[in-house]
Amino acid sequence: MLIGLTGGIASGKSLVATILSELGAKIIDADLIAKQFTSPGSTILFEIWEEFGDEVMTPDKTLDREKLGNIVFSSPEKKKKLESILHPYIITEIKRKANEFKETDPNTIVVVDVPLLFEVGLDSLFDYVWVVWVDEETQLERLKMRDNLEEKGALDRIRAQMDLDEKAKKADIVINNTGCHDETRKQVEKAWNNLFVN
């Protein structure tokens, strides 16, 4: 079984993925794949460097993610360009890893944590899509605190993604992560247990 796990920035996908891992799911993290693919010397890093220039590189020729984020989250065109470089590699690797898990154990439940699942049209890849939802006020406060951002920078990042309410409408399961961790865990455990009914 293949589950797509998505949400918005600072909505709590990592928390839900951690709980699912503890319950026995195999986790594939799209952001982690992106970081691995943009390591020093990689083909993708060179493509990003060519497209965005020296300002997104540190003096030791690694990717300055903060500067790149500031550029792409304030320009839809630049964001699309970055995605066109990254996404083909990431999608191919997600499929490869998922197939590897299934070959090892056909009954395993594979959860793919992918922030832009709907935006890049990946929902058809999954048996179920779970969305981690929070209200915008909570999302904004968590993002400002987590990434030490001013309000405008945080809002730019939130609004660069599909609205969480829209994502929730498209989901098979919605996990409300506005409350405490225990409340979130109970929802995840209930949804997990329902996978094995019938």
Q: What residues does 176 pair with on adjacent strands?
A: 133
Residue entry with tokens 């589950």: 3
Q: Confirm if 74 and 154 have CB atoms less than 8 A apart.
A: no
Domain containing 123: what range? Answer: 2-39+97-193
29-43 residue pLDDT tens = 998 998 888 888 888
* pLDDT score, position 198: 53
Residue 139 lies in a domain: yes
Which CA distances in Å does 43 have to 12, 85, 135, 155, 184? 31, 10, 38, 32, 39
Residue 178 lies in a domain: yes
pTM of the model: 0.85
* pLDDT score, position 189: 97
Residue entry with tokens 């699309």: 80
Q: How confident is the model at residue 156 (pLDDT cuts 50, 70, 90)?
A: confident
Nearest 5°: phi and psi at 108? -70, 150
Task: Return d(Cα 138, Cα 158) in angstroms, integer.
Answer: 12
Residue 24 lies in a domain: yes
Evaluated on CA atoms 88, 33, 58, 13, the torsion sign reads positive
- CATH code (residue 17): 3.40.50.300
Number of domains in the chain: 1
Residue 170 lies in a domain: yes
Running DSSP on this structure, what letter comes out for residue 147? H
Residue 58 lies in a domain: no
Residue 69 lies in a domain: no
